[in-house]
Amino acid sequence: MGLMTRRPAWQRRNTGFRHPAQVISIGFGTAVGLGTALLSLPVATRSGQSAPLIDALFTATSAVCVTGLVTVDTGSYWSSFGQVIILLLIQAGGLGIMTLATLFTVLVSRRLGLRARFLAQAETKSLDLSDVRGVVRRIVVFSLVSEAVVAVALALRFAAGHGEPVWPAICHGVFHAVSAFNNAGFSTNADSLVGYVTDPWVNLVVAGAVVLGGLGFPVVFELARCWRRPAMWSVMTRLTVVLTVTLLTLGTAVLTLTERTNPATLGPLSGPEKLLAGFFASTMTRTAGFNSLDIGAMRPESLLASDVLMFIGGGSAGTAGGIKVTTFGLLAFVLWSEMRGETHVNVGRRRVPPSNQRQALAVALLSVGAVIAATFALVVMTNHGLERALFEAVSAFATVGLSTGITGSLPPQADLLLVVLMFAGRIGPLTLASALALRERTRRFELPEERTIVG
Amino acid sequence: MGLMTRRPAWQRRNTGFRHPAQVISIGFGTAVGLGTALLSLPVATRSGQSAPLIDALFTATSAVCVTGLVTVDTGSYWSSFGQVIILLLIQAGGLGIMTLATLFTVLVSRRLGLRARFLAQAETKSLDLSDVRGVVRRIVVFSLVSEAVVAVALALRFAAGHGEPVWPAICHGVFHAVSAFNNAGFSTNADSLVGYVTDPWVNLVVAGAVVLGGLGFPVVFELARCWRRPAMWSVMTRLTVVLTVTLLTLGTAVLTLTERTNPATLGPLSGPEKLLAGFFASTMTRTAGFNSLDIGAMRPESLLASDVLMFIGGGSAGTAGGIKVTTFGLLAFVLWSEMRGETHVNVGRRRVPPSNQRQALAVALLSVGAVIAATFALVVMTNHGLERALFEAVSAFATVGLSTGITGSLPPQADLLLVVLMFAGRIGPLTLASALALRERTRRFELPEERTIVG
Ligand SMILES: [K+]
Ligand SMILES: [K+]
């Protein structure tokens, strides 16, 4: 595996080594295949009959890609065995993406500080096996400890506050904890968390787990080390923290305002409950995918605002999806610098190299293209309008898992499209970014310069 | 006026000179104000009563910005006097934008060839009054001759093929010729060109005028000089020609395919007629705004495809709107270069400087932001869904003028929003691009570089 060699092995031709992009694709593809096979077993369903292939494939992809879109109801369709499989797929997908993205971050980060803090030796430009083991161990410990704390908090509340018996409360607590921390959005309840819309305990614990998982491991690691000294934060941590707080606040404000008089969502709630539900909805667009409100009953303006928030997504190298706040933040800084007439793009006291800016542009443009193409295809394949099709496409691509309710009734070709979209949305931005960043750039002779008018 | 000085005057502080962005804003603002005043006169309406201020303002803005969205029917609401005013506003707006954008192109183009072909002296980096006069004269001649030819062709057809009396046929011919060449999309017919949907003569003449006006004067000028030798074309001409042909073809294919079975649009037509109407619809999205089909009856997928085409728009320095094919093309080339691992972005045998790439990014990002914000506001203000609101917002911003039919029934605040959007969409990308391109860049000390992960 290329990541383990001292000199990047994918640059040596005709060796047995593979490019990280291939490793990621093969790894996730294998997990989806295995998951599909296991979910196709009769024992995986409550009815004892084999699930149709498309449902098994859809559910496995949705779980591995921690998306949370479902064609069948998780709690009533799948057996306990099936639910455990889903949980394991979520855990594998979440750990996998977090590990690979973190290793990639360490590998391409030219900042010795981040490398030094993570790794024993910081003088080399590559990772060896002990580095990889160290990172994997830290991530596994971080994930399992976080999930355990959340599971206990939720199980206690389900048992003590909602009168569930002990064993179901524990099962629900564990399932929702893993699902929340990994930003998977799967729920054993048919209505997700609508039943807990006014429960601050459940809402805040789940939202906390979602945000923690979605910040990304390198950012959490850096914050744990030097959260008191923002001046020392890396560009990635700065962008992630500032944009997470900004987007959460903005999302809460917009969704609370647009839905406050909607009788099918926030209307019946009291003032503080409105704010809690608005905050929860805002958190879930980044890209957790639980819902405590009926998304299908939301106003078009709320859906559009959610589309934007979902598309931006969460932090890099975490369990969240979307183009990532770092990509969005970098583009915002490029725009800002351009407007101010700066020659360079500076974030904090660091300069962002032009190749890094172009990577952000590439990720954003290809993502916009993918979402528009998928929306177009969905509108052609179904009789749903732009509103619901766009929401579904963004939700699948950004691995959010929220839906206006159309997922279960789509034709098979639309299900397949969503499978592809979830897969592409999960591994696409990362593999693209890694392929772009790790590649050797060939400098050729320079052509004469010519500028053209734009706009 | 800054454009006339040898050394860019807006860089000298505390002089009486103004930045070109200000000149453009003030010029267009004055034209809108004057138009509003004239259209508010009782003599401007058929009823002889003063038009409401919002309708006069909306119509004047729509005409000056060559958009073509209307709150009242042009043919039946406005008197002949009113229609002449509208025509003059269209002509002023079209000539104004073409002249300013062409002067700007010449000014920032570092390619001596383009300057030398345009101007007497090519050694200075600024324009003096005789340069400006030369460019203006060429543009006026080009516009008036083109419009005259189209007017004659249309008037002949209206009289000979559709049995109109001579004088009305001439009036209709002139009105539609000016409207078409300037990409204004105003029509004296309540149903635009729906009555001529199967008439190849009218369709092709209007489409030709639209494409000619939308190519942009510098491109037409260059093509007239060396259309046989594509190797000599500038980056601007290459991008414009290739993308215009590609997008027209692609748009025709998509719209013909998606609408072919729609009983309210292409369904009843024969095969060749379907293709003609599909081609016409494709042309009109770039950004002419006539329609021979009922836009409101189109399928959601056609509206989405039109949204994309309208947003991209036509050529720079012409009468078309949108972010322009040059902007779109540059971004596509940046993306392509990044995917291939090139250090530089080359178009043809020329290298596009990084600042030029960032300008394209700035125009595209701000335009996306403006359209999303306006769509959000429209959805909040009205009970129209995302489909129609997005179409209306893109149509206004890209100065297209197509509508699903909601323009006439919007609340006043939505009308005002569209007025602002038309104005911003018309002068925004150009002033932004000129402000960015003409500005002196201050080089400061460089900060240490740091790359961050994206995606
Ligand atoms: K999710
Ligand atoms: K127009």
B231-280 confidence digits (pLDDT tens): 878 888 888 999 999 999 999 999 999 998 888 888 888 888 889 989 99
| CA–CA dist B228, B231 (Å, integer) | 9
| CA–CA dist A328, A313 (Å, integer) | 9
Taking CB atoms and an 8 Å limit, are A110 and B343 in contact across chains?
Answer: no
**Residue A112 — pLDDT band, cuts 50, 70, 90?**
very low
Q: Which amino acid is at A308?
A: V
- Supply B151's token pair: 């007017």
| CA–CA dist A80, A77 (Å, integer) | 10
In whole angstroms, how far apart are CA A170 and each of A201, A253, B18, B172, B361?
A: 16, 34, 71, 77, 50
How many Å lie between the alpha carbon of A292 and the closest alpha carbon of chain B?
23
The ligand with the least distance to the CA atom of A396 is 1
**Residues in contact with B404: Cβ distance below 8 Å, sequence separation at least 6, in sequence order:** B295, B296, B298, B303, B387, B388, B391, B392
Coil vs helix vs strand at A345: strand
**Residue A316 — pLDDT band, cuts 50, 70, 90?**
confident
- Residue B378: closest C-alpha in chain A: A301
- Residue B441: closest C-alpha in chain A: A341
**Residue A101 — pLDDT band, cuts 50, 70, 90?**
confident
The ligand with the least distance to the CA atom of B192 is 2
pLDDT attached to residue A130: 67
CB of A184 within 8 A of CB of A88? no
The ipTM estimated for the assembled molecules is: 0.86
- Residue A332: closest C-alpha in chain B: B365
Q: What phi, psi does A449 have (nearest 5°)?
A: -85, 145
Whether residue B26 lies within 8 A of chain A, CB to CB, comes out as no
Whether residue A31 lies within 8 A of chain B, CB to CB, comes out as no
Lowest mean pLDDT among A51-60, A345-354, B393-402: A345-354
Among B410, B346, B422, B389, residue whose Cα is nearest residue B68: B422
Cα A19–A442–A102 angle (5° rounding)? 35
Whether residue A314 lies within 8 A of chain B, CB to CB, comes out as no
Please state, as a whole number, how many other Cβ atoms lie within 10 Å of the Cβ of residue B382.
18
Instruction: Name the residue facing A356 among B331, B360, B452 (closest C-beta).
Output: B452
Ligand 1 midpoint to CA A331 (Å)? 24
- Supply B315's token pair: 């050529």
pLDDT attached to residue A418: 93
pLDDT attached to residue B57: 94
Q: DSSP for B67-105, please give it.
A: ----SS-HHHHB-HHHHHHHHHHHHHHHHHHHHHHHHHH
Instruction: Flag whether pLDDT at A140 surpasses 80.
Output: yes
Q: What phi, psi does A347 have (nearest 5°)?
A: -120, 120
| CA–CA dist B404, B389 (Å, integer) | 9
Instruction: Flag whether pLDDT at B432 surpasses 80.
Output: no
B contact residues 74-103, partner A, Cβ 8 Å cutoff: 101
The whole-angstrom distance between residue A122's C-alpha and the CA centroid of its chain comes to 29
What is the dihedral angle through the alpha carbons of B382, B384, B386, B388, rounded to the nearest 10 degrees?
-120
Chain B CB contacts of A429 below 8 Å: 454-455
| CA–CA dist A333, A347 (Å, integer) | 7
Lowest mean pLDDT among A301-310, A316-325, A394-403: A316-325
Q: State which of A201-215, B9-23, B108-122 shows the largest mean pLDDT.
A: A201-215
Query: What does the mean pLDDT of chain A come to?
Result: 83
Taking CB atoms and an 8 Å limit, are B361 and A327 in contact across chains?
Answer: no
Q: What phi, psi does B102 have (nearest 5°)?
A: -70, -45
Quote the DSSP letter at residue B291: -
CB of B448 within 8 A of CB of B370? no
| CA–CA dist B332, A18 (Å, integer) | 28
**Residue B310 — pLDDT band, cuts 50, 70, 90?**
very high
Taking CB atoms and an 8 Å limit, are A390 and B389 in contact across chains?
Answer: no
Comparison of pLDDT for A199 and A308, the residue scoring more: A308
- Residue B426: closest C-alpha in chain A: A455
In whole angstroms, how far apart are CA A92 and each of A98, A175, A234, A318, B338?
A: 10, 14, 28, 13, 32
**Residue A199 — pLDDT band, cuts 50, 70, 90?**
confident
Helices (H), B163-264: 166-181, 200-215, 217-226, 235-259
Chain B CB contacts of A449 below 8 Å: 110, 350-353
Quote the DSSP letter at residue B188: S
| CA–CA dist A43, A106 (Å, integer) | 42
Whether residue B111 lies within 8 A of chain A, CB to CB, comes out as yes
| CA–CA dist B192, B197 (Å, integer) | 10
How many Å lie between the alpha carbon of B73 and the closest alpha carbon of chain A?
29
Q: What is the pLDDT of residues A23-34, one digit of tens each?
A: 788 888 999 999
Q: Which amino acid is at A422?
A: M
- Supply A110's token pair: 């030219």
Taking CB atoms and an 8 Å limit, are B453 and A317 in contact across chains?
Answer: yes
Instruction: Flag whether pLDDT at B6 surpasses 70.
Output: no
How many Å lie between the alpha carbon of A275 and the closest alpha carbon of chain B?
20
Whether residue A43 lies within 8 A of chain B, CB to CB, comes out as no
Chain B CB contacts of A236 below 8 Å: 452-453
CB of A449 within 8 A of CB of B349? no
Instruction: Flag whether pLDDT at B14 surpasses 60.
Output: no
SS3 labels along A219-234:
HHHHHHHHCCCHHHCC
Taking CB atoms and an 8 Å limit, are B449 and A343 in contact across chains?
Answer: no
Coil vs helix vs strand at A216: coil
Q: Which amino acid is at A99?
A: T
Share of chain B above pLDDT 70, in %: 85
Chain A CB contacts of B326 below 8 Å: 452-454
Q: What phi, psi does B351 have (nearest 5°)?
A: -100, 135
| CA–CA dist A320, B312 (Å, integer) | 31
- Supply A290's token pair: 């639980």
**Residue B389 — pLDDT band, cuts 50, 70, 90?**
very high
Instruction: Flag whether pLDDT at B321 surpasses 80.
Output: yes
Q: What is the pLDDT of residues B123-132, one digit of tens each?
A: 444 556 667 7
Strands A345-347 and A350-352: antiparallel
- Residue B386: closest C-alpha in chain A: A387
Taking CB atoms and an 8 Å limit, are A447 and B350 in contact across chains?
Answer: yes
Strands B345-347 and B350-352: antiparallel
| CA–CA dist B4, B13 (Å, integer) | 16
CB of B107 within 8 A of CB of B114? no
Instruction: Flag whether pLDDT at A132 surpasses 50.
Output: yes
Q: What is the pLDDT of residues A445-454, one digit of tens each?
A: 566 666 666 6
Length of chain B: 455
| CA–CA dist B172, B33 (Å, integer) | 26
Comparison of pLDDT for B229 and A371, the residue scoring more: A371
Please state, as a whole number, how many other Cβ atoms lie within 10 Å of the Cβ of residue B129.
11
CA B336, B342, B348, B350 dihedral sign is positive
**Residue A126 — pLDDT band, cuts 50, 70, 90?**
low
**Residue B395 — pLDDT band, cuts 50, 70, 90?**
very high
Q: Which amino acid is at A265?
A: T
In whole angstroms, how far apart are CA A72 and each of A54, A187, A409, B156?
A: 11, 12, 10, 64
CB of A3 within 8 A of CB of A23? yes
Q: Which amino acid is at B294?
A: D
Chain B CB contacts of A379 below 8 Å: 299-301, 304
How many Å lie between the alpha carbon of B46 and the closest alpha carbon of chain A?
38
pLDDT attached to residue A111: 47
| CA–CA dist A394, A375 (Å, integer) | 8
Q: At which residue do the structure tokens 């926030």 appear? A: A266
The helix or strand, by DSSP H or E, that contains position B34, with its residue range, turns out to be helix B20-39
A contact residues 171-230, partner B, Cβ 8 Å cutoff: 218
CB of A147 within 8 A of CB of A181? yes
Chain B CB contacts of A111 below 8 Å: 450
The helix or strand, by DSSP H or E, that contains position A351, with its residue range, turns out to be strand A350-352
| CA–CA dist A340, B442 (Å, integer) | 10
**Residue B99 — pLDDT band, cuts 50, 70, 90?**
confident
A contact residues 116-175, partner B, Cβ 8 Å cutoff: none
- Supply B120's token pair: 């007497």
| CA–CA dist A49, A358 (Å, integer) | 50
Taking CB atoms and an 8 Å limit, are B385 and A387 in contact across chains?
Answer: yes
Chain A CB contacts of B429 below 8 Å: 454-455
Lowest mean pLDDT among A75-84, B95-104, B301-310: B95-104
| CA–CA dist A69, A10 (Å, integer) | 35
Residues within 5 A (CB) of ion ligand 2: B 68, 183, 185, 289, 401
Quote the radius of gyration of chain B (alpha carbons, Å): 22
CB of A386 within 8 A of CB of B391? no
Taking CB atoms and an 8 Å limit, are B365 and A110 in contact across chains?
Answer: no
Comparison of pLDDT for A13 and A287, the residue scoring more: A287
How many Å lie between the alpha carbon of B157 and the closest alpha carbon of chain A?
36
Chain A CB contacts of B234 below 8 Å: 450, 452
| CA–CA dist A387, B390 (Å, integer) | 10
End-to-end Cα spacing for chain B: 46
The ligand with the least distance to the CA atom of B399 is 2
- Supply B93's token pair: 């707006």
Whether residue B304 lies within 8 A of chain A, CB to CB, comes out as yes
Instruction: Name the residue facing A375 among B104, B304, B443 (closest C-beta).
Output: B304
Instruction: Flag whether pLDDT at B228 surpasses 50.
Output: yes
pLDDT attached to residue A115: 53
Ligand 2 midpoint to CA B420 (Å)? 15
- Supply B434's token pair: 């000129």
**Residue B449 — pLDDT band, cuts 50, 70, 90?**
low
Taking CB atoms and an 8 Å limit, are B104 and A453 in contact across chains?
Answer: yes
Ligand 2 midpoint to CA B322 (Å)? 10
pLDDT attached to residue B11: 45
CB of B202 within 8 A of CB of B172? no
Chain A CB contacts of B452 below 8 Å: 109, 234-236, 239, 316, 326, 330, 347, 352, 356
Comparison of pLDDT for A141 and B440, the residue scoring more: A141
How many Å lie between the alpha carbon of A320 and the closest alpha carbon of chain B?
10
pLDDT attached to residue B379: 92
Coil vs helix vs strand at B371: helix
How many Å lie between the alpha carbon of A428 and the closest alpha carbon of chain B?
8
| CA–CA dist B209, B225 (Å, integer) | 20
